[in-house]
Chain A
Amino acid sequence: MEAYLLNLGVLVSIYAILAVTLNFIMGYAGIFSLAHAVFFGVGAYVGAQMAMHVSASLFVTIPAAMVVAALLSLALALPALRVRGEYFVAASLGLQMLAITVFSEWKGATGGIGGLVGIPAVRMFGEDIYRPAAFFPLAAAVAVLVLIVTRLLVHSSFGRSLTAIRDSESAAESFGKNIALIKTISVVVSAALAAVAGVLYANYLSFINVESFTLNTSVLVMAMVIIGGTGTALGPVVGAALLLILPGLLSYLWFLPQTEIGAIQQIIYGLGMAVLMIFRPGGLVGRSAGARKRRKRDALKAAAGQSEARKMEGAK
């Protein structure tokens, strides 16, 4: 039982990193990416290769993974950010599909469908860290670190620029903000930090293959962000914990037919999402509805004010 919980804790930490870094672009820049699992995968493969052939030190594997993921994200960001929102979603989906093919075919780097096996554990203080009891504190500490870095960025002038761009691109542009550059930097930062989760994942499991980095993972991470609360500090962490704990919890419910548990889980997810979007569209941690209604008010008022002014003038 304890091992089970510690193992769950490691997975929650790793997925929390993914959710927090996706939230960084979704919640603050308004960029919806369906390719987050790609950077998770790139981090895992690069981390694994470095650990197998160079050094299993996190100080080697993590920077290498971050650099490769950052460069790859540029390939996505530079062309896609020149077009508007929906096209980025399409471009990211394209990258995700492409990556799955590369992950399963490029045997030299990824081991193909079979994946990479025998990835060495992290070495710290002269010891191999692979048992859940030892790995959990490490994974949790890295997750906290990633959370702190993203919070610092969000509360810096960079974060304000991101939010300003999300709220009104044209106004942000009118005050001198280079939208393409700022968005590109946010995508690069998000991808590089997501790769950190990949490194931990590869070291922890010592075996990785393409199955972990498919569109399903991208969608799952996006669900974690939305359910927890897009644009909130702790929402993504709550979402990650909830979606990872739920399957285990269901198997404890004796009255459910255990052979159909997968299907039941899907139904519960679907229902839960629908109910959440109706009653708490901002997510569990997010604000309740109401604020959005006022957004159209400006346009309406502006139009009304104008026609009123016209009437007044006309009467003179």
Chain B
Amino acid sequence: MTAQVTEATLAKADPSEEVLLEIRGLEKSFGGVRAVSDVSMDLRAGIVTTLVGPNGAGKTTFFNLITGHLARSGGTVRWLGRDIGGMKPYRIARLGIARTFQDLRLFNDMTVEENILTVMEPGALPFSVSGPSAKEKREKVARVMERTGLADKARTRAVDLAYAERKFLSMARIMAAEARLWLLDEPASGLDPNSYATFLRLLREEVAAGVTVCIIEHNLDIVVGISDRIAFLDRGRLLADGDPKSVLEDPELTRIYFGDRA
């Protein structure tokens, strides 16, 4: 049954785009549990890929394997043709892969301004030898705060922000990081309708500006609204990978995702 599903909806992403991330046979086992099992996937420049699947399907684990936060048990991950498996997370980040976290992980005791500024300064030296000047950095921070609606909260500590503001700060950080590939872990969960609309607009603008996005999302409006492609994970396996319509209309996947109620 699984084989049929996969064949019916296998990836037909535009092959003309450059492959940023090439994942082949990715595996991760925790003890006896296979959290990610033989997943192969290409993330192409400019394509928004949404990862869907029930809780515990291995979506976040998949992100952690890409960013180096977890060591893979098998398979390869290539960034622009270069094997990045086994590299430390900070090195992978510096290649141009940035991520958000489901539980945000903001720099809580730092102000909004500092949270954004610090992601632009990955180096260890107290002064920067190269890179943008202090003025350029300040301007960029201001721009990002403006776009995420945080301009009047510049001096507020992250921990004192309201929930939606915290979600936007998480987005602001990734916007400031100048990455080519964004891995977003449920960036819109828990947002009220207004914030949600703002979030969608932001994401569309960023995609239009050339960012490649892979997003974990449960909200089907997002899934359908902005995805070029949907990858369906269940119990660590990639069951389907294709355009949104064909994946969502597959009755077998619907049954797995919604349970027997559907």
* Cβ 8 A contact of B190, one of A153, A164, A295, A308: A308
A161 to B126, CA, bound (A): 9
Residues from chain A with a CB closer than 8 A to the CB of B67 are 174
Report if A245 contacts B (CB, 8 A): no
The 0/1 profile, CB within 8 Å of B marked 1, for residues 226-249 of chain A is 000001000000000000000000
Are B121 and A170 in contact (CB-based, < 8 A)? no
Report if B231 contacts A (CB, 8 A): no
Interface residues on A, range: 35 or more
A310 to B119, CA, bound (A): 33
Are A176 and B189 in contact (CB-based, < 8 A)? no
**Known contacts being A157-B121, A167-B110, A171-B101, is A309 close to B189, with CB within 8 Å?**
yes
Q: What's the least CB distance linking B117 to chain A, in Å?
A: 6
Residues from chain B with a CB closer than 8 A to the CB of A266 are none
Q: What's the least CB distance linking A173 to chain B, in Å?
A: 4
Report if B114 contacts A (CB, 8 A): yes
Report if A117 contacts B (CB, 8 A): no
Q: What's the least CB distance linking A24 to chain B, in Å?
A: 12
A177 to B124, CA, bound (A): 7
Residues from chain B with a CB closer than 8 A to the CB of A177 are 90, 122, 124
Residues from chain A with a CB closer than 8 A to the CB of B123 are 157
Residues from chain B with a CB closer than 8 A to the CB of A310 are 55, 218
Are B124 and A158 in contact (CB-based, < 8 A)? yes
The 0/1 profile, CB within 8 Å of A marked 1, for residues 53-73 of chain B is 001000000000001010000
Q: What's the least CB distance linking A254 to chain B, in Å?
A: 45
Residues from chain B with a CB closer than 8 A to the CB of A159 are 126
Are A174 and B99 in contact (CB-based, < 8 A)? yes
Residues from chain B with a CB closer than 8 A to the CB of A160 are 110, 114, 117-118, 121
Are A164 and B55 in contact (CB-based, < 8 A)? no
A163 to B108, CA, bound (A): 9
- Stretch binding the partner chain, chosen from B145-153, B159-167, B238-246: B159-167
Residues from chain A with a CB closer than 8 A to the CB of B259 are 314
Closest to B183 in A: A174
Closest to B123 in A: A157
Residues from chain B with a CB closer than 8 A to the CB of A171 are 101, 105-107, 173
Report if A179 contacts B (CB, 8 A): yes
Report if B249 contacts A (CB, 8 A): no
A264 to B109, CA, bound (A): 37
Report if A260 contacts B (CB, 8 A): no
**Known contacts being A157-B123, A167-B110, A310-B55, is A175 close to B177, with CB within 8 Å?**
yes
Are A182 and B124 in contact (CB-based, < 8 A)? yes
| Count, A-B residue pairs, CB within 8 A | 141
- Stretch binding the partner chain, chosen from A104-112, A269-277, A296-304: A296-304
* Cβ 8 A contact of B159, one of A156, A185, A295: A295
A178 to B87, CA, bound (A): 12
Report if A53 contacts B (CB, 8 A): no
Report if B1 contacts A (CB, 8 A): no
A177 to B122, CA, bound (A): 5
Report if B157 contacts A (CB, 8 A): yes
A176 to B87, CA, bound (A): 12
Residues from chain A with a CB closer than 8 A to the CB of B108 are 167-168, 291, 295
Report if A306 contacts B (CB, 8 A): yes
A174 to B93, CA, bound (A): 6
Residues from chain B with a CB closer than 8 A to the CB of A164 are 107, 110, 115, 118
- Which of A163, A177, A306 gathers the greatest number of chain B CB atoms within 10 Å? A177
Residues from chain B with a CB closer than 8 A to the CB of A313 are 218, 220, 257-258
Residues from chain A with a CB closer than 8 A to the CB of B211 are none
Are A302 and B103 in contact (CB-based, < 8 A)? yes
- Which of B103, B127, B163 gathers the greatest number of chain A CB atoms within 10 Å? B103
Q: What's the least CB distance linking A210 to chain B, in Å?
A: 35
Closest to B219 in A: A309
Please name 27 pairs of A and B residues whose Cβ atoms are closer than 8 Å in the assembled complex, sorted by A: A157-B118, A157-B126, A160-B121, A161-B121, A163-B109, A164-B118, A167-B106, A168-B105, A168-B106, A168-B107, A170-B89, A170-B105, A171-B173, A173-B88, A173-B93, A174-B67, A174-B93, A175-B93, A175-B173, A176-B90, A176-B122, A178-B90, A302-B103, A304-B190, A309-B219, A314-B258, A316-B220
Interface residues of B (CB under 8 A from A): 55, 67, 69, 88-90, 93-94, 98-99, 101-110, 114-115, 117-119, 121-128, 157, 159-160, 163, 166, 173, 177, 186, 189-190, 218-220, 257-259, 261-262
Known: A170-B101, A175-B122. 6 other contacts (CB 8 A): A164-B118, A291-B109, A294-B159, A298-B104, A309-B219, A313-B218
